[in-house]
Amino acid sequence: MNFFKRRKILTSTSAFDLTPLKLAAHEINDDNLVTVLFPKFENKFAIKYFQPKLKSPFIKLKLDELGSAVWLAIDGKKKVGVIAKELVEVFGDKIRPVEERLPNFLTQLYEQKLITFEELKGA
């Protein structure tokens, strides 16, 4: 799907009506905090020649308590509005204003290609 079609869908749809999907792997530590793993290289040449020399083939993005809760709530079935309600029930005032914070966080994850939205796959 080209840029203009994606932009039209994203601007015409409320953020709370989108269904996020994970594109990256993750680890969960003992404190129930998530570390998102995504490859350092996508280029086949770089993977073949540089990656074997590295300690880890992944870049690790450590999420805080709220970010971890959002990441774990993304299951490919729940809409952002449902995730927001669940977060308010669990965290209360700690996550307020969820109407601003959650879409901003998901936008950052989308821009880093860690998530996409179900609505963008079908069109």
Count each helix (H run) and each strand (E run) in the chain, helices first: 6, 5
Tokens (6 digits) for 13: 């749809």
Q: Is the whole model's pTM more than 0.75, yes or no?
A: yes
φ, ψ dihedrals at 39, nearest 5°: -60, 140
The β-bridge partners of 36 are 26, 61
Place of tokens 């009506």: 17
Query: 48 pLDDT band (50/70/90 cuts)?
Result: confident
Q: Judge whether 95 and 88 are in contact, CB under 8 Å.
A: yes
pLDDT in tens, 49-70: 776 777 777 888 999 999 999 9
pLDDT in tens, 87-110: 999 998 888 898 999 999 999 999
Dist. CA 3–CA 11, nearest whole Å: 12
Q: Would you tell me how many other CB atoms lie within 10 Å of the CB of residue 24? A: 17
